[in-house]
Amino acid sequence: MIPRPESPATARAPARAKAVLILVFGPFLALLPGCGDKSKETVQVSAYVDKPPHGGTPVVLGDGDYHVELVRDAETGTLSAYVLDDEMEDFVRSSSPAFVVTATAGGTARTLVLSAVANPATGETVGDTSLFEARADWLKTTGEFDAVLHGLVIRGKPIADVRFNFPAGNDKD
């Protein structure tokens, strides 16, 4: 017996049947749970934590719009202050030529004048910088003190009477 050639309509029949099955049962297949061992799936949840970029002491300024990160170098007796945004990700320039920190340690009050530091690499100048520094011999041996920050201006907003502890900071979170 000689096989009969398929007509074009008969040749398309299996493809049509497949298309009908997909259209009819496809939506239900999407509702079925996937295969596999779900006990091995992990979900990573990470809490965002503001961390000072230089590993220093974060001090929240005002309503939390800004921070100052304080970094003490005991070897040189230097206290550096970096002005940062609310999440301590970006540096924020200040127009202040200097600001004051009144520090109390061992019952003795001392005044630190943190002066603006120019940085030609970033284009920062005195009056338009995010870095301030002070040097004092007592910073070489004193690693903890209570303090009040005065006289900083950030984006036209005066910052004053900010109380903190070094190295604990003042963030209540």
CA dihedral (109, 110, 115, 119) positive or negative: negative
Check whether 41 has a pLDDT greater than 50.
no
pLDDT in tens, 84-122: 999 999 999 999 999 999 999 999 999 999 999 998 888
Three-state DSSP at 89 gives coil
Spatial CB neighbours of 139, under 8 Å, sequence gap ≥ 6:
72, 74, 77, 78, 79, 112
Which amino acid appears at position 82 of this protein?
Answer: Y
143-161 confidence digits (pLDDT tens): 999 999 999 999 999 999 9
pTM attached to this predicted model: 0.71
> Domain 57-166 adopts which CATH fold?
Immunoglobulin-like (2.60.40)
Where are the chain's structural domains?
57-166
